[in-house]
Amino acid sequence: MASTGVLPFVRGIDLTRNDFSSYFPDHVQDMTGLRWLRISHSNLKHVPEEIGALNKLEDLVMVHNEVESLGDFLPNLPALHSINCRNNNLNDAGVPKKIFTGNDLSIVDLSHNKLTEVPSELENSKSVLVLNLSHNQIEMIPNQLFINLTDLVFVDLSNNNLETLPPQMRRLTSLQTLVLDNNPLIHAQLRQLPVLTALQTLRMKNTQRTLNNFPTGLDTLTNLQEVDLSHNNLPRVPEALYKLDSLKRLNLSSNEITELSLMIDIWTKMETLNLSRNKLKAIPTSLHKLVSLKKLYLNGNQLDFEGIPANIGKLHNLEVFSAAKNNLEMIPEGLGRCGKLKKLVLNENRLITLPDILHLLPDLETLDVRSNPDLVMPPKPQEAKTASQYYNIDFSLNTQLRLAGAQPIPSSGQTPSPKSDPVARKLRLRRRRDGQESEKVLKGMRDVAKDKAEGKSSKDDEQREPLKPKRWDENLHRPQLDYSEIFDEDVGHIPGLMGKFYEADCYIILKTFIDDSNSLNWKIWYWIGNDATLDKKACSAIHAVNLRNLLGADCRTIRQEQNDEDEDFLALFEHGVSYIAGGRTASGFYSVEDMEPEVRLYRATGTQSVHMERCPVQVDMLDSRHVFLLDTGPKIFLWNGKKSNLVTRTKSRLIAEKINKNERKGTADIIQFAQNKETAEFWKQIGGPPESMEVTTSKHSDVPYADPRLYRVGLGKGYLELPQVHIPKNRLVSSLLDTKCVYILDCITDVFVWIGKKSTRLVRAAALKLAQELHDMILRPEFVTIYRCLEGTEPQIFKSKFCGWDDVLPVDYTRTSESIARRGADMKVIMEKDRMQTDLSALFMPRQPAMTEEEAETLSSEWNEDLDGMESFVLEGKKFVRLPDEELGIFHTEDCYVFLCRYWVPVELPEGEEDIDEEDLPEDEFKCIVYFWQGRTASNMGWLTFTFSLQKKFQALFGDKLEVVRQHQQQENLKFLSHFKRKFIIRLGKRPLGRIPTSASADANKGKPAKPSTELFQLRANGSPIATRCIQLENPNATWLNPRFCFILMVPFDSDELKGIVYVWVGKRADHKEAQIAEEIAYMMYKDGFTIQMINEGEEPENFFWVGIGGKKPYDEDSSFMHYARLFRCSNEKGYFTVSEKCADFCQDDLADDDVMVLDNGEQVYLWVGKKTSDVEIKLAFKSAQVYIQHLRNKQADKPRKLLLAMKYKENKKFIKCFHGWGKHKEVKDFKSLLPTIY
C-alpha cells in the first residue's frame, strides 16, 4: 500500500469498469471512512470480503456483474442504507435473510435477476422506501410484505408473472410511484388504487387493461401526474382520466382509441401526450387549452389535414410534434407559430408541401419528412439584410435599386410613424424621476422625525461616533526569528577557520579596535569568491551595510575579491589566506539537475484518431501491423511495420513532431524508418534485435486496450471523494474537463493527473496522493508512470486520449504585418471600406420595346435610299468571286461573304446659302462600307484571306472613304439587314457549286451533288421587322412548330421530273405579312422542279407533310416568350461584377462560355453556366438572378418566375425556343492539344 495516508479520509469511490474477475484490491478495506462504493461492470462473481470491513458503508452499487450470491458479509454492515444489485445472476438462495434485519436499509434494488419469489424476511425491513423487483420471475406478492412496509414511496414490480396484487397494498398511503408494466393482470381489478392518495406516477403498460377491468375511482387521485396505459385494449380513453387535472404525462399509445373527447381541455398541466398507434382520425379543437404541452406524439394514426386543429399554434410551449405514418397532405400553418418547436417528424405521409413559416422557426433542430414522394419543399422566405451580404456585396433589392438610381420599394403595410419629440420625452422622464426622488426624500425626513420623537437619535449618535485611528507602530509585532534551518547549533561556539576561504562563498570580516579616544571603532570587509553565485554576492554587500548600521560605525564597507585583496585585508591573517575549492553553503537559487529521461514505447493504432498505447520496452512487442513510437528523450524513433496503415504512419509522425515542438522545444531528433531498416541505436534502446532477425506479428498486440476512466477529485470538510465522470459514447472530449476541478485519467498503462487553472491547492495535493493509491490499487504493468498535467501545458500523449483535441489557432496568413499596421486588424471595418463595386442596373431597366411596322419601313427606306449600289462576293477556295444575282440574300453557315456598299452622303450647306440654285449645288460625297459576313461554322481563314487580298484592293480604290465592318451570323446590324428587304435566308452547310438545294453533308462540302434531304426553315423576326431571318433548322421534326411563326418544309422526291414538294406552313397566330414573305422566300429558293403549297395550321396533309417531317408529334403552342424574352450577361471583364443586357435580337452565339447568362422567358428565369465560368461569377450571378426575380414580383405580379439552372449542352426545350435557329454549340479548338508532345 502506498503510504499517502489519504485512504481513511476517502468517503466515496467509483471503481466501475475495472476487471475484478480474478482479484479485488486490498486497499478498499483501509478506507475506513467509506460511505459509498460503486463496483459496476467489473465482472464480479461474488461480493468481495474486503467490503465486510467497511463499517460506515451506506450505499453499495454492484450493477451489471455476475454475482450469484450476496454472501455473509453484507449483513454485518450496520450502516448500510442502500443496496443496488440489478443486472446480476441472483437467485432466491443468493439473498441472505439477515441483510434485511438492519434498521437503516431504505433502498433495495434487485431487478434484472433470477428471483422467483420475494426475498424472505424482506417484510421485516420496515424502513425500506424504495423497492425494485422488476425483470424477475416472481409470480406472487406475499400479503405480509405490504403490512409492514407501509412507508414505501417507490415500488417497481414490472416484467414479472404477477396475476394479482395483494389487497394490503391499500396500506401504502405514502406511495408515490407504482410500476406494474408487462404483467398478466387480466383478472386484477386494482381496487386498491383509489386509496393511494399520494400516488404521482402509475404505469400499467401491457397489463391487459380494458374498460371492464379498469380501476374505478381513479379520479380521486388528485396528485397523479403520470399515467402509462400503452399496449392495452382500450377502445377509448377512460372517463376517469378526463377528471384528472393534475396530469403532466399521459401515454395511451398502441391501443384502439378512435376518438378523443372535448373534455381534454381539463389537462392544462399536460406536458407530454402520446397517442401513437391508435385509430384516431381527428384531434379535438380543444387541444389548444393544453397550454403547458411540450411533446405531442400522434404517430401511426389515420390523421389528415382536417384532423389537426388549426388553432394548434396556440401551444406556445410545444417542442416536439411527431405525426409519422398518417395521411397528412399538409400541416396547419399555425404549427409554424409554435416558436419553441425543436423536433418535427412527418415521415411516411402524403405530404405535398409545407408552410413557408417553418423556415423561420428559430429552435427547430430536426425536420423528418422522409418517404413523402410528392413533397415539394417551400422556398426560403426573403432573408434578412445581413444574409444578403455575399462577397461583401449587399444583394438586397432595395440596396440594388438605390445603387441603380431607382426608387426603393416600400415594404407592405409600412406606414410612416409620427416623429416623437425627444425634448418633450426628456422633460417627461425628468419630471417622473424628480417626482420619485422627492417622494423618497420626504419619506426619509418623516422617518428621521419619527425616530427623534421616540428617543432613538441619542443612541444612534453615540454609536455613530468616529473610531480613533490607530498608529502604524502600535500594530507591529516582533517576529520570532528562527535561524536553526540556516545555521548549525555549534555556530559561534567553536572558533572557525581563519584565513581559509571557499571559492564559492562570500564572507563578512569585522575588525574591532580601540581608537585614540579610548572608544570602540570598527572596520568591515566583505569578501567575494570567484565562483560565488549572484545571490551570495548581493547578500554579503547588503548584510555588511546592515552590520555597520547596527554597530553605529562611521566606516565604510570595503569590497574584497578573490586574488585581488589589499594589504590591510591580508594583514588581518598572520598565516596568510588560502582558498578551498567549492562552497560550504548552498545557493538560494534553485539548482537544476538534469534528470535521466525515461525510455517509453507506444503502439499507435487507428486511422481517424490515433490511439497511443504504452507498452513495455521489449523487442517482442514490435508487430508488423502497427506503428511504434520509441521516446528516449533526446531522440524519438518511429518504427513503421510493413503492414501498417499509411494514415497511421502519417499521423504518428505528426504526434512526434508535436512532442518535439511543445515538450522538447525542438531539441529532439525524430528518426523514422521502415521495418528491416532499423539502426543499431534503435536496437540498443529497445533491447536488441529479435532472435529470428525478423519482426512478424506479436501476441501482445492482439490484446485490446482498456477503455479510459476519468475520475473527478472531490474535497469536502474532512473527506475525499473519487466519482467517475460519465463519458458519452465512450469518447473522451476536452469539454469534460472543468478548469475549477482536478481529474485523474486512468488508462491502465498511463495515469494522468489533470490540474485545472482555477483549482484549489488542497485539491491538487489530494489528487496526487489519490492517483498514487489508484495506481497501486489496480493491477498494472510495472512501467506505468503517473503524469502531472497542468491545464494549457498537457503532453501530447494525454491529448491523444481525447477526440478532436486540436491546439491549432486560426491564423490569417493572407495578411502581412504591414497590412495590419496600415489598415488595422478589424476585418469588419476593412470589409466595410472595401465594399466591392457592382453594377446591376440593367436588371431594373424596362425591356426594350419592339419596333413597329411603320418605324421599320421608315428606317429601311431611308437606308436604302442612301444606297447607291451593292456588289456581292463569296469565298470559293482561296479567292473571292462575284456572287450570282439569284443567290443574293441566301447565306450558308460554312461560307464567308463580302458586300461592297456605296452610300451617298449629302453635303451640308453653310448658313445663309440655302437659297442657291440646284445647278450650283456641290455634288454629294459618297462613302463605301464593306460588310464581311461569316457563318457560324465557317473558318477564320476567310477573314484572313479577305484582309490580305480583297481589302487591300478596296483601300487602294477608295482610300479613307472605306470602312470595313465584320459581322457574324445572326449578329448583323439593322442597316445591313435592311438591304435584303426581310428576305434574309441562312442555310446549313456550304454553298453547293451545283446549285442544288441540299442539306449540310460531307459530299456537299466537297462540292459534289448530294442526295436531297428534308429541309425545314423558320421565319422569325426578333425585336424588329427588319431583323427577319429565315433559318434552316437542324434535325427537322414536328417539335419545332409553333403557331406564332411560319415554316417552310421541303420534302424531296426520288424522281427526275419532280424534285419535291414545298409547304409554307402558316401558324394560327402568325403575322399575315410574314406569311406573304415566307411564300416569296419559298419561290425564291425552290424554282424549277418543285411544287409549292400554302397550308394553314391544322390543314396539314398526312401523306407528305407529316411523313416528310418525321411523323406527327406534339409541339409547344405557347409563344408568349416573344413579349418577355430577355438575355443578360454576368461578367467580371470590367474589373468588377456587372450585368449587361443583350439586344432583343440575341442568338445562340451570344452565350459566352466564360460567363454566366440569365435568360427570362416570362415563366422561368434560367441561369446558364458555361464550361469556363469561374465559381465567383456563378455565385454572384445566382444572387443577381434572385434579386431580378424579386424585382419582377413587384413589377409583374401576375407573371411569377421560377429560377432554373441550364448547363451548357444540357439546355431544355423551353430554353432553346427563345433562340432562333438553335444548333450545336460553336467550339473553339484548343491549339495546345494540336501541338506535338515534347519528351
Copy the grid coordinates of residue 634: 533526446
> Looking at residue 1238, what is its pLDDT?
42
> Looking at residue 1128, what is its pLDDT?
96
Average pLDDT, the chain: 86
> Looking at residue 1010, what is its pLDDT?
58
Per the model's pLDDT, the better-predicted residue between 1102 and 705 turns out to be 1102
Q: 500-580 in CATH: which number? A: 3.40.20.10
As a whole-number percent, the residues of the chain with pLDDT over 90 amount to 54
- Pairing relationship of beta strands 1028-1032 and 1015-1021 according to DSSP bridges: antiparallel
> Looking at residue 419, what is its pLDDT?
47
pLDDT tens digits for 84-94?
999 999 999 88
Provide mean pLDDT across the span 19-45.
Answer: 90
Copy the grid coordinates of residue 521: 571603532
Strands of 520-528's sheet, edge to edge?
A: 506-514, 520-528, 557-561
pLDDT of 964 > 60? The answer is yes
pLDDT of 703 > 80? The answer is no
> Looking at residue 993, what is its pLDDT?
66
CA torsion sign, 365 to 369 to 370 to 373?
negative
Copy the grid coordinates of residue 724: 467517475
Beta strands in 536-695, from DSSP E residues, in sequence order:
557-561, 578-580, 600-605, 611-615, 627-631, 635-640, 669-674
Q: Note the Cα 410 to chain centre separation in Å.
A: 35
Per the model's pLDDT, the better-predicted residue between 346 and 219 turns out to be 346
pLDDT of 1168 > 60? The answer is yes
Per the model's pLDDT, the better-predicted residue between 527 and 459 turns out to be 527
pLDDT tens digits for 306-350?
999 999 999 999 999 999 999 999 999 989 889 899 999 999 999
- The band of 889, judged by pLDDT with boundaries at 50, 70 and 90, is very high
- Pairing relationship of beta strands 82-84 and 249-251 according to DSSP bridges: unpaired
> Looking at residue 466, what is its pLDDT?
54
Query: CA-to-CA distance for 1134 and 1112, rounded, in angstroms?
Result: 49
Architecture per CATH, domain 599-692, reads as 3-Layer(aba) Sandwich (3.40)
**Domains of the chain, residue spans:** 225-380, 500-580, 599-692, 709-809, 854-908+923-1108, 1121-1216
Asked whether 301 and 324 are in contact (CB, 8 A), the reply is no
> Looking at residue 458, what is its pLDDT?
44
Query: CA-to-CA distance for 572 and 510, rounded, in angstroms?
Result: 10
- The band of 1031, judged by pLDDT with boundaries at 50, 70 and 90, is very high
> Looking at residue 414, what is its pLDDT?
44
225-380 under CATH 3.90.550.60, yes or no: no
Architecture per CATH, domain 1121-1216, reads as 3-Layer(aba) Sandwich (3.40)
DSSP 96-164: -GGGG--SS--EEE--SS--SSPPTTGGG-TT--EEE--SS------TTHHHH-TT--EEE--SS----
Q: Which fold has domain 854-908+923-1108?
A: Severin (3.40.20)
Residues 6+ apart with CB under 8 A from 585: 505, 536
pLDDT of 1011 > 70? The answer is no
Q: Which of 323-332, 403-412, 884-893, 1166-1175 has the lowest mean pLDDT?
A: 403-412
pLDDT of 451 > 80? The answer is no
Provide mean pLDDT across the span 899-907.
Answer: 88
709-809 under CATH 3.40.20.10, yes or no: yes
- The band of 589, judged by pLDDT with boundaries at 50, 70 and 90, is confident
Same fold, 225-380 and 599-692: no
pLDDT tens digits for 252-307?
999 999 999 999 999 999 999 999 999 999 999 999 999 999 999 999 999 999 99
> Looking at residue 481, what is its pLDDT?
60
- The band of 484, judged by pLDDT with boundaries at 50, 70 and 90, is low
pLDDT of 638 > 70? The answer is yes
> Looking at residue 491, what is its pLDDT?
61
pLDDT of 407 > 90? The answer is no
> Looking at residue 1000, what is its pLDDT?
42
Provide mean pLDDT across the span 877-900.
Answer: 93
pLDDT of 577 > 70? The answer is yes
